[in-house]
Chain A
Amino acid sequence: MTENILEMKNISKSFPGVKALDQVSFDLRPGEIHALIGENGAGKSTLIKCLGGQQMQDEGDIYIDGKKVEITNAKVSRDYGIGIIYQEFNLVPAFTIAENIYLGREYKKNGMIDRAGMIRDADEILNSLGQENISANTPVFKLSTSQQQMIEICKAISTNSRIVVFDEPTAVLTQKETELLFQIIARLKEQGVGIIYITHRLDEVLQLSDRITGLRDGVVTRTINNGPDVTKDDLVAMMVGRKLDAYYPARTVEPSDEVIFEARNFSYRRIFSDVNIKLHKSEILGVCGLVGAGRTETMKSIFGVLPHDSGEVFIDGKKVEHISPHELIKHGMVLLPEDRKNEGLSLMQTAAINLCIPNFDQISKRGLVDSRLRSKFVDKFFNLLSVRPPLPNRLAINFSGGNQQKLIIAKWLARNPRILVMDEPTRGIDVNAKAEIYNIMNELTEQGMSIIMISSEMAELMGVCDRIMVMYEGRFIDEFTRDEFDEQNLARAQSGIRVHAS
């Protein structure tokens, strides 16, 4: 048995309200590919950030070559021979490939920066990765996404990293590029580099890895050796089974057969394609999928915030001519964005003003705000959704996440919408507030409203929705009605394994 190159022992890390990692232990041997799997929010990224020096663990120790180390910042991490290829690239767009690769450890010659030397060596690294057609003197902003990822790999190789972490590397790659990446990974492995491979694609896990560790809710479920008898179902079992942590109200209304909203054939570049959605009156439709599956982009595009290459929207069976937020709001559809702090609320203004922003017509007379109408309006919605504390003049930033979400819902309810699209409406809010939001959703459908809810929490979708559509790599690949809800099946579909025949 070879000595571990890396050992992470009993790592714990908490953020306000969540325990992201709880006594996680993980190890890596030289020349090994160790896959790390888990659902969105399971704690994979947090673990890697501890390794990369972007965050410090609260508890637990990290050992490299058996020696205990303190990884306090990115530079320390690099000096220990850890190279991390993050999902978001960290490149300076205006700089050349060579300048990016050697940023922070530039070559010097007579006190000056030695660009020629950096370009020469960078070209060599590029060649060794089969990228003969790119010159290291090219500015990075001219590169495609996959080429940019290649530069991140070059960075890791150029520091002679002995531990290389790939975080969802194939999400942005084509089939051919993926094959090339696998060759590179195989070569690194031969050289004795230890590789941590994070992905949602279970095929890749089975194809590449030597060992597999599953994370769920910040806890390691199992670490297994990969082998011919390991199946995708085994992997799914390592990821699912999250605790039910909220109370779901019983649905008190049956969706009718009437289709109130329909999106047909929405496609945009390689982000999503052939998206078809039918929403019935009084229905809560769940949309699930892994991060990067294109859920948010699809809904934003249908709402007209993002562009689309093709697609039509029908409301009440009538085609909506110009797809734009303005037009869809007029037709009674509203979108509650995922990023509520940036896109949903004006945080540094009062709750009352936030409520009034899209509703000035209801509180003004002859173009002037009528303060009596205004306070009546604000009180009405504060009471309706029981926003707490009931202080309309408090700044939005000072409300809790759950109450901020209520404010956003309230502000759009005033427009009397019939179709509500909610993107991750309960992310980052506490259990009680979640239950309140679910109740509000149920009540709204009682009044005839229809809701599309995007969520990464499968338990929540199963608890609240009448129907769940599963998105995988930009397509809806499967659909489940309430009596078919099953966490294993949903997790399979999310990983690209269709349960129903198409």
Chain B
Amino acid sequence: MKKKFNLFTWLLDKRELSLTLLILAMAVILSFTTDTFATRDNIFNIFKQAAITAVLACGLTFIISGGGIDLSVANNMCLASVVLCMVYNATQSDILALLVGVVLAATVGALNGVLVTKLGLPPFIVTLGMSNIASGLALVVTKGYPINFSNKSLMFTVGQKSLFGIPILILLIPFFTLIGQFVLRKTVLGNRLQACGGNPVAASLSGLNVANLKILTYTIGGIFAGFAAFMLAGRINSGNPSAAGTVGMDAICAVVVGGTSMAGGGGTVVGAMVGAILMQLIKNALIQYEVSMYWQTAVIGIVLVCVCALDLVTRKAGEAGQK
């Protein structure tokens, strides 16, 4: 039974590759049509801006491919970032600050997971509520003011300095992506997490503890948010309770554009990372072409909806072709 080769569905299948090709194509066009795109500063800027979204998206890939959704990652990160700044100022210890931030964010994630699995609440509602709680707590502990810290800290180095001529923030993108990709695809645990998202009944009939595995996906999402918090504090050189902005939505977009189905199951961390970079590139392209920056969010939304629609159309075409 030989199937007709369809370039279009093949490209959608190889999502990481096709997105990378798209990014390169856009980069080539932008380099030739604008003077400002192909400069070192601009390229670094794109990746620096993509870094935090990418790390959040890595964690979110676990949650979404595990069959859940988390709207609270961005505010969870924000809360962790102000808390870790306070810990740093109190102790002058970067390690302790990072540890507290990661543990706090992981706890918030785990709490999401427990509410979703043990109480059976819908993840959308739980994490929306948690997002507001985290955002509110961040304002409460800071009284709304940003928390500054000394530029001798490791945070400052991570957020502002370079290694081998490349900003450390950018180097962290492949670092976290590879860790995430390894856990999700190369370990038994990652495989089981995705099985829970793909078909919870099958997973439980295979003897897996679906509830605990799902809690774990939310916890992993929290851990990545904790590391992102450290990077965020360094990047904006303070602990800012209202720094979340659109980064949470951008991260969800990145995961979905990167090939993870909202229905759970498939998906790769590399895809999410490439998705995050694409999002940032699109924003940058709009700036290069001097489109009003108010258009940015709208365009990201359009891209998300289009990708989902494409996904659905090709999947339906695939199903029809089988019969």
Determine how close the nearest CB of chain B comes to the CB of A258; give it in whole angstroms.
40
Known interface pairs A92-B198, A92-B199, A103-B195; A74-B204 also in contact (CB < 8 Å): yes
- On whether the beta carbons of A91 and B199 are closer than 8 Å, the reply is yes
- Would A103 and B203 count as touching, CB distance under 8 A? yes
- Residues 128-167 of B, flagged 1 when their CB comes within 8 A of A and 0 if not, give 0000000000000000000000000000000000000000
A90 to B207 CA separation, bound complex (whole angstroms): 12
The residue on B at minimum CB distance from A108 is B188
For B261, the chain A residues whose CB sits under 8 A away are: 94
A92 and B265: CB pair below 8 A?
Answer: yes
| Cβ-based interface call for B206 (8 A) | yes
Do A93 and B206 touch across chains, with their CB atoms under 8 A apart?
A: no
Find A104's partner among B1, B198, B208, B323 (CB 8 Å cutoff): B208
B299 within 8 A of A: no
Contact B187 A111 (CB under 8 A): yes
Say yes or no: is A391 at the interface (Cβ < 8 Å to chain B): no
Q: Does B49 contact A (CB under 8 A)?
A: no
**Is residue A250 contacting chain B, with contact meaning CB distance below 8 A?**
no
A176 to chain B, nearest CB (A): 14
Q: A94 contacts B206, CB within 8 Å? A: no
| CB closest residue in chain A, given B204 | A74
Report if A95-B322 is in contact (Cβ < 8 Å); known contacts: A78-B207, A90-B201, A113-B188: no
Which of chain A's residues has its CB closest to B315's CB? Answer: A141
8 Å CB interface, A85-121 against B: 90-95, 99-100, 103-106, 108, 111-113
Contact of B192 with A by CB under 8 A? yes
> By the criterion CB–CB under 8 Å, are A92 and B202 in contact?
yes
For residue B205, which residues in chain A have a CB less than 8 angstroms away from its CB?
52, 54, 74, 90
Let me know if A75 is at the binding interface, CB within 8 A. Answer: yes
A443–B261 CA distance with the chains assembled, in angstroms: 51
Between A73, A105, A106, A111, the greatest number of chain B beta carbons within 10 A of the residue's beta carbon is seen for A106
* Residue in chain A with minimal CB distance to B200: A92
Asked whether B181 is an interface residue with its Cβ less than 8 Å from the other chain, the reply is no
A175 located at the interface, meaning its Cβ lies under 8 Å from any Cβ of chain B in the complex:
no
B18 within 8 A of A: no
Q: Which of A74, A95, A103, A105 has the most CB of B within 10 A?
A: A103
- Chain B residues, CB < 8 A from A91: 199, 202
Is A269 part of the binding interface, using a Cβ–Cβ cutoff of 8 Å? yes
Most buried by A among B188, B208, B265: B188
User: Bound state CA distance, A54 and B323, in angstroms?
Assistant: 32
CA distance A114 to B97 in the complex (A): 37
Determine whether B186 belongs to the interface, using a CB cutoff of 8 Å to chain A.
yes
Task: Please name the residue on chain A nearest to B185 by beta carbon.
Answer: A113
B156-192 interface (Cβ within 8 A of A): 185-188, 190-192
| B43-82 to A contact mask, C-beta < 8 Å, 1/0 | 0000000000000000000000000000000000000000
Least CB separation from A106: chain B residue: B188
Please tell me if B284 contacts chain A, counting CB pairs below 8 Å. no
- B194 interface residue per 8 A CB criterion: yes
Task: Write the nearest CB–CB distance from A47 to chain B, whole angstroms.
Answer: 17
Question: Does B123 touch A at the CB level, under 8 Å?
Answer: no
> How close is B145's CB to chain A, nearest CB, in angstroms?
45
CA distance A93 to B65 in the complex (A): 12
Bound together, the chains give a CA A229 to CA B36 distance in angstroms of: 90
Tell me whether A73 and B188 are in contact in the complex, defined as CB-CB below 8 angstroms, given that A92-B199, A144-B322 are known contacts. no
Contact B187 A112 (CB under 8 A): yes
Closest chain B residue, CB of each to CB of A89:
B202
Beta-carbon contact of A75 and B265 below 8 Å: no
Q: Is A371 an interface residue (CB 8 A)?
A: no
Expressed in whole angstroms, the Cα–Cα distance for A52 and B191 within the complex equals 24
B27 to chain A, nearest CB (A): 31
Q: How far is A92 from B206 in the complex, measured between Cα atoms in Å?
A: 11
Shortest C-beta distance, B62 to chain A (Å), equals: 15
User: Within 8 Å of chain B (Cβ to Cβ): is A68?
Assistant: no
Contact B198–A93 (Cβ < 8 Å): yes
Inter-chain contact A75/B207, CB cutoff 8 Å? yes
- Nearest Cβ on chain B to A91's Cβ, whole angstroms: 6
Inter-chain contacts of A90 with B (CB < 8 A)? 199, 201-202, 205-206
Which of the listed residues B198, B266, B318 has the most CB atoms from chain A within 10 Å of its own CB? B198
Contact B198 A94 (CB under 8 A): yes
| A103 and B202 form a contact (CB under 8 A) | yes
B87 → A minimal CB distance (Å):
33
Give complex CA distance A100, B192 in Å: 10
Whole-angstrom CA separation of A104 from B208 in the bound complex: 6
A142 at the interface (CB under 8 A from B): yes
Give A99's nearest chain B residue, CB to CB: B191
Cβ contact within 8 Å between B265 and A74: no
Q: Mark A123-157, 1 if CB is under 8 A from B, else 0.
A: 00000000001000000001010000000000000
Residues of B within 8 Å of A106, CB to CB, are 188, 191-192
Closest to B323 in A: A269
Contacts of A78 in B (CB 8 A): 206-207
- Distance in Å: Cβ of B295 to nearest Cβ of chain A: 34
Which single member of B187, B188, B203 contacts A92 (CB below 8 Å)? B203
**A95 partner, pick from B201, B265, B318, beta carbons under 8 A:** B265
The answer to whether B199 and A93 touch across the interface, beta carbons within 8 angstroms, is yes
On chain B, the residues within 8 Å of A52 by CB distance are 205
What residues of chain B lie closer than 8 Å to A100, measured between beta carbons?
202
Whole-angstrom distance between the Cβ of A134 and the nearest chain B Cβ = 10
Q: Which one, A92, A133, A142, A269, contacts B195 given CB within 8 A? A: A92
With A and B bound together, what is the CA distance between A108 and B192 in angstroms? Answer: 13
- Contact residues in B for A105 (Cβ distance below 8 Å): 206-207
Residue of B nearest to A84 (CB): B205
Distance in angstroms between the alpha carbons of A133 and B2 in the assembled complex: 11
Cβ of B259 to closest chain A Cβ, rounded Å: 10
**B70 CB to nearest A CB, Å:** 20
Contacts of A99 in B (CB 8 A): 191, 195
**CA gap between A70 and B208 in the complex, in Å:** 19
Best-buried of A91, A95, A104 by chain B (most CB within 10 Å):
A104
Tell me the A443-481 residues at the B interface (CB within 8 Å): none
A86 to chain B: closest residue by CB: B205
Judging by beta carbons under 8 Å apart, are A74 and B198 in contact?
no
A270 CB to closest chain B CB (Å) equals 9
The residue of chain A having its C-beta at the shortest distance from the C-beta of B3 within the complex is A142
Q: Shortest CB–CB separation between residue A307 and chain B, in angstroms?
A: 11
Instruction: Mark each residue of chain A from 41 to 81: 1 if its CB lies under 8 Å from any CB of chain B, else 0.
Output: 00000000000101000000000000000000111001000
Which has the most chain B C-beta neighbours within 10 Å: A93, A94, A142?
A94
**Cα distance A54–B198 in the bound complex, in angstroms:** 20
B201 CB contacts on chain A under 8 angstroms: 90
Please, which residues of chain B bring their CB within 8 A of the CB of A54? 205
**B216, chain A: closest CB distance, angstroms:** 16
Distance (whole angstroms) from the CB of A137 to the closest CB of chain B: 13
Contacts of B202 on A, CB cut-off 8 Å? 90-92, 100, 103
* 17 A–B pairs (Cβ distance < 8 Å), ordered by A: A74-B204, A74-B205, A74-B206, A75-B207, A90-B202, A90-B206, A92-B198, A92-B203, A94-B194, A99-B191, A100-B202, A103-B202, A105-B206, A106-B188, A108-B188, A142-B318, A144-B322
Counting from the closest, the 9 A-B pairs by CB-CB distance are A75-B207, A104-B206, A94-B265, A92-B198, A94-B266, A90-B202, A103-B206, A92-B199, A74-B205
Other than A75-B207, A92-B203, A95-B195, give 14 A-B pairs with Cβ distance below 8 A: A52-B205, A74-B204, A74-B206, A90-B205, A91-B202, A92-B202, A92-B265, A93-B265, A94-B194, A103-B192, A111-B187, A112-B186, A113-B186, A113-B187
